[in-house]
Amino acid sequence: MRRTTTAVLVTVLLTAGSVAGVTAIVPGAAPLEDARQGQPACDYQSLFDETAGSVVSIRTSSGQSSGFVYEVENGTDTNATDDTYVVTNAHVVSGAAEVEVEFEGSEFRSGSVVGHSTYADLAVVSVSDPPAGTGALSLADTDPQRGERVAALGNPFGLDETISHGIVSGLNRTLPTRLGFEIPNVVQTDAPISPGNSGGPLVNCDGDVVGVNTAGIARQGAENIGFAVSPSVVERVVPELLDDGEFDYPYIGVRTTPVTPTIADGNDLDRTTGLAVVSVLEDGPSAGALQGPTEVETVGDRLVPTDWDLILAIDGQQLRSGEALGTYLVTETRPGDTVDLTVLRDGDVQRVQITVGERPDPVGA
């Protein structure tokens, strides 16, 4: 059994989502070895040939986008059929129960959405009678590294069988969405990701999925800034979608901000590490256990909140950013787990235990 990967709706980002279909495009050729970086050559032509058969087009009433074969289960008796599971973005299926899936060679099949997670922007589609020889892509064991060569496959603007290449530009990004929440642990790449690429795989030179293409920045002056859901999030979320049809998304119900020098000055802190608690959700998991600011001080010409909890670590792991907190919760915890927070409060380091909750559905989802 082999597994694979997927990849949202963004405020300042253009969703690489659904568009009307057009035709095919010729994949790019392989570059020469780059001796300056000391990396072996990435043969993009061979990479396309090896992976394109596992990339699909997904069509709904609102348009066309991408996906990839994540798992193939073979029937165990003569009357059984193969069950193929395709991963895509939740925003691609957009609440649909049934979709059309186009495999290589323009072979169409009906697909059923077996589960989706709005917060992770991942969905799984089941196809009961895939074309003969359909194979799954492998999900990378670890998240990629900055500078690693990658290729994005999919159907941008309906141009099927398209490959674009680049590198991993950044890791552990947080992707804001139009629904007001953020997707943690997102991979940034300069491989072009356009509308219609959503749900397609971002693969490394070995053909392993290192991201699920999700969105590209649609802002004047932005060039080749795209995002993909990381393999660690896919590995955490997709198996639960397969088993239960849903993913219980963990959260602790706080908003935080990194401790800047200004915040440190206003709160008489000798450190700029950790996360200051901006607010605590009423009746949320952290209500009564953590506190936001209660006073305001003037630092220079700025008003700085004071007397708030500063989260230094979770389960012994130091926190340097809100991205780190979000990534830890989604990849390492489940609702009902207890996490141990190291908190600086009123100048004293304390331990605070929080029972992780299940994040309620976003308004408008």
**Token output for 240:** 């639960």
Single-letter amino acid, residue 121: D
Q: Distance between CA atoms of 237 and 259, rounded to whole angstroms?
A: 31
**Burial zone of 213 (CB within 10 Å; 0-12 exposed, 13-18 middle, 19+ buried):** buried
248 Cβ neighbours under 8 A, 6+ residues apart = 240, 334, 335, 358
In a 3-state reduction of DSSP, which class is residue 165?
strand
Q: Which of 66, 94, 194, 198 is the catalytic position?
A: 198
Residue 106 annotated to the active site:
no
Q: Distance between CA atoms of 261 and 73, rounded to whole angstroms?
A: 54
Decide if 130 contacts 95 (C-beta within 8 A).
Answer: no
Decide if 174 contacts 182 (C-beta within 8 A).
Answer: yes
Decide if 311 contacts 343 (C-beta within 8 A).
Answer: yes
First vs last C-alpha separation in the chain:
33
Residue 121 annotated to the active site:
yes
Decide if 20 contacts 63 (C-beta within 8 A).
Answer: yes
The residue assigned the tokens 């061979």 is 46
Q: Which of 54, 121, 232, 286 is the catalytic position?
A: 121
128 DSSP 8-state letter: S
Write the DSSP assignment of 72-111 as a string of letters: EE--SSTT---EEEEEE-HHHHTT-SEEEEEETTTEEEEE
Residue 116 annotated to the active site:
no
Percent helix, strand and coil across the chain, each rounded to 5? 15, 40, 45
**Token output for 219:** 């802002």
The residue assigned the tokens 């908190």 is 343
The alpha carbons of the chain give a radius of gyration, in whole angstroms, of: 22
Annotated catalytic sites, by residue? 91, 121, 198
